[in-house]
Amino acid sequence: MSLAKTPPSAPAPRRPRGRPRKTADERDDGNRRQALIAGAARLFRQQGFAATTTRDIAAAVGMRSGSPFYHFDSKEALLGAVMREGMRGALQRQQAALGLLAETASAQARLRVLVRSHFDVLLGPDSDFIPVMLYEWRSVSPAQRGEITRLKDRYEADWMPTLQALYAQGVLGCDPALARLMVFGALNWSAQWYVPPSGRSAKARARASLDELTTAALGLFLKEDVR
């Protein structure tokens, strides 16, 4: 029996912490997926879900006609992604806007930020998903609808403490839960008639910036001037 010592084995190389870096192909796949969602949202808003084909969507983003099915099982799945990703982005933007407020900000100041952020989501760049949600809601499956509703509820829940504070101050004229429904109904409908200003000529008097829309909306919702 040998008494020679076995030399110690070399330590196993350490694995890098965190998620592995994505390959160039994986990053490109993510970019293509986002391009499909944005292109589909634009076409669903302009043409309607039923009248838009996957061939239309692929052409709009420079892909072959069958390429969307590499990322989504069906046109219905793509519609659900438009609504879901849109609501996730809106929620992130809203929380970021609220995060910039001082802790001592008044309820009126918080409502201004909420309304202005919502107008940006609704009428600003890449703002097609809310109109698609409003008019294509019945086209998504019950499972998709449930997930999107949960995101929408989280988005609207951020408004309730502000509306409740305004109601307690006597500035908001109705129950906060009812006010929330009325406020979102009024704001969302602006997607149908809003035209961004192009210059300040007399012909553009009916147009307004998003800041001007925000001030007008607050004047309708609250009992006192909050400008």
pLDDT given at position 23: 45
Question: Residue written as tokens 């892909």?
Answer: 63
- Domain membership of residue 101 as a residue range: 84-221
Q: How many domains does the chain have?
A: 1
Q: What is the pLDDT of residues 103-129, one digit of tens each?
A: 999 999 999 999 999 999 999 887 899
Who's near 60: CB < 8 A, 6+ residues apart?
39, 42, 43
Rounded to whole angstroms, the Cα distance separating 133 from 143 reads: 15
pLDDT tier at 11, thresholds 50, 70, 90? low
Rounded to whole angstroms, the Cα distance separating 117 from 187 reads: 11
pLDDT given at position 29: 63
pLDDT tier at 86, thresholds 50, 70, 90? very high
126 in any annotated domain: yes
Question: Residue written as tokens 């993510």?
Answer: 30
Q: Is 94 exposed, middle or buried (0-12, 13-18, 19+ CB in 10 A)?
A: buried
The number of beta carbons lying within 10 Å of the beta carbon of residue 73 is 9
What does the pLDDT average to over 61-67? 88
CATH of the domain at 122: 1.10.357.10
- 112 closest CA partner among 183, 177, 189, 205: 183
pLDDT given at position 14: 57
Which of 3-12, 32-41, 63-72 is the most confident on average? 32-41
Instruction: State how far Cα 186 lies from the chain centre.
Output: 18
What are the tokens at 60? 């709009």
Q: How far apart are the first and last CA of the chain?
A: 93
Classify 14 in phi/psi space as left (phi over 0), alpha (psi -120 to 50) or beta: beta
The single-letter code of the amino acid at 48 is G
148 in any annotated domain: yes
60 in any annotated domain: no
What does the pLDDT average to over 6-29? 50
pLDDT tier at 165, thresholds 50, 70, 90? very high
pLDDT given at position 9: 55
181 in any annotated domain: yes
What is the H or E stretch that residue 40 is in? helix 24-47
Longest pairwise C-alpha distance within the chain: 104
74 in any annotated domain: no
178 in any annotated domain: yes
129 in any annotated domain: yes
